[in-house]
Structure 1
Amino acid sequence: MANLPVISLKEVALHDSMSDCWIVICNYIYDVTNFMLQHPGGEFVLLDQAGRDATFAFFDAGHTLSSTTSLQKYKIGILPPSECLFNNPSTLLCT
């Protein structure tokens, strides 16, 4: 996934429903639509963060490095540098 498309927060914001759910974690965009019903915390936890940056909610919920690793199959893009909240996301366990 070295050549991820750059996706703006404005585009991410359009994907905020049960049938189309994107979230941002550590500057990366994830399409978690197909994971919502499998999420251990319930689909509404994801829906609450749909269409926006969920980094702080993700780590506040106690997710670990293994959680970020399992997200990789849902990664669809990266924010443009001007919209990134984290200059060094590796300090947040994001890989």
Structure 2
Amino acid sequence: MPTLTKLYTMQEASEHNSAGDCWVVVDGKVYDVSSYLEEHPGGDDVLLQATGKDATDEFEDAGHSKSARELMESFCVGELDTSDIPQLEIISKKQTNYFSEKLVDLSKQYWVVPVAAVGISVVVTFLYLRKK
């Protein structure tokens, strides 16, 4: 009979953020590392800082060994429910071109003001020096 995996939202996982109750999320899995805080080679503060967010990048950047990854599985309490995570909007190339065209249009519009200010100051300076 297959084991049912409990799903947790990021909000639920982030509520476990103290030394006595510490959960971290790595690669879509939720781990209760409360009992491992004092044994963690990087210190308990590293794990406490990883709560409330997806800590996959930090975990991978630390270069954990195969045995560390195997040990981590013993702390797994469930998986992250990804149905409530907002999806990023993919911007098409047409939209990107539209935004860049708008930016170019704005920069064309607003070059007049600084050029006019410089032109006026040159004319005023020329007239002032000519009167002297």
TM-score scaled by structure 1? 0.80
More RCO (CA 8 Å, sep 6+): 1
Task: Give the drift of 1:3.
Answer: 1.5
Q: One-letter code of the match for 2:38?
A: L
TM-score scaled by structure 2? 0.59
Q: One-letter code of the match for 1:34?
A: S
What runs of 5+ residues in structure 2 fail to find an aligned partner?
88-132
- The corresponding residue for 1:14 is 15
Does the 8 Å contact 1:21/1:51 carry over to 2? no
Q: One-letter code of the match for 1:56?
A: D
Q: Hey, what's the Cα distance between the residues in 1 that align with 2:82 and 2:15?
A: 20
Compare 17-26 and 47-56 and name the one that shifted more.
47-56
Q: Percent identity?
A: 36
Does the 8 Å contact 1:22/1:52 carry over to 2? no
Gap change, CA 1:2 and 1:56, over 3 Å in 2: farther
Q: Hey, what's the Cα distance between the residues in 1 that align with 2:35 and 2:54?
A: 18
Q: Hey, what's the Cα distance between the residues in 2 that align with 1:72 and 1:79?
A: 14
Q: Hey, what's the Cα distance between the residues in 1 that align with 2:12 and 2:26?
A: 15
Count residues with an aligned counterpart: 84
Map Cα deviations across residues 17-68 of structure 1 (whole Å, 9 max, x no partner). 1111000010000000000000011111111112321110001011133321
- The corresponding residue for 1:49 is 50
Q: Hey, what's the Cα distance between the residues in 1 that align with 2:82 and 2:52?
A: 18
SS of alignment partner, residue 10 of structure 1: helix
What runs of 5+ residues in structure 1 fail to find an aligned partner?
86-95
Q: One-letter code of the match for 2:74?
A: K
Gap change, CA 1:51 and 1:60, over 3 Å in 2: same
Gap change, CA 1:58 and 1:33, over 3 Å in 2: same
Structure 1 outlier segments of 4+, above 3 Å: none
SS of alignment partner, residue 7 of structure 2: coil
- The corresponding residue for 1:70 is 71
Two-structure CA RMSD over aligned residues (Å): 1.8
Comparing both structures, which one devotes a greater share of its residues to helix? 2
Structure with greater Cα Rg: 2
